[in-house]
Amino acid sequence: MIQTTPPKTYKIKPMSPEMEQKVLKSYAESLELTERELRCPSCSFYIQTLFSDVSGHLKVKCPNCKVITTYNLSYFRRQKRYHAGRYPGSHNTIR
Ligand SMILES: [Zn+2]
């Protein structure tokens, strides 16, 4: 698990073994997935990272502009412009 900011140790409680197993299993499963950023539609501030298997609706308050927005995550996927092998100049061109 990559922790970019140091945890506030005074707020940490001991984790139960079951919870620790869930956390470790979740991390191991995420290694196969790709990540994308969810940004605020109002101010483009980074809100959170989403994995490629995420779906459904999410209600989030932007930490920058404080606007609360409900997202249908299927609308906030990056659209591919070209299919693999059809991109002009691609080395994967189908012959
Ligand atoms: Zn915002």
Q: Which residues are within 5 Å of ligand 1 (an ion), measured at CB?
A: 40, 42-43, 45, 62, 64-65
Distance of alpha carbon 26 from alpha carbon 54, whole angstroms: 13
Q: How far does residue 67's CA lie from ligand 1's centre (Å)?
A: 6
pLDDT of 87 over the 70 cut: no
Dist. CA 5 → ligand 1 center (Å): 22
Question: Whole-structure pTM over 0.75, yes or no?
Answer: no
Single-letter amino acid, residue 86: R
Q: How far is the CA of 39 from the centre of ligand 1 (A)?
A: 8
Per-residue pLDDT tens digits for 53-86:
999 999 999 999 999 999 998 887 765 555 545 5
Q: How many residues does the chain have?
A: 95
Query: Does position 49 have pLDDT exceeding 60, yes or no?
Result: yes
Q: Give the separation between CA 73 and CA 17, rounded to whole angstroms.
A: 32
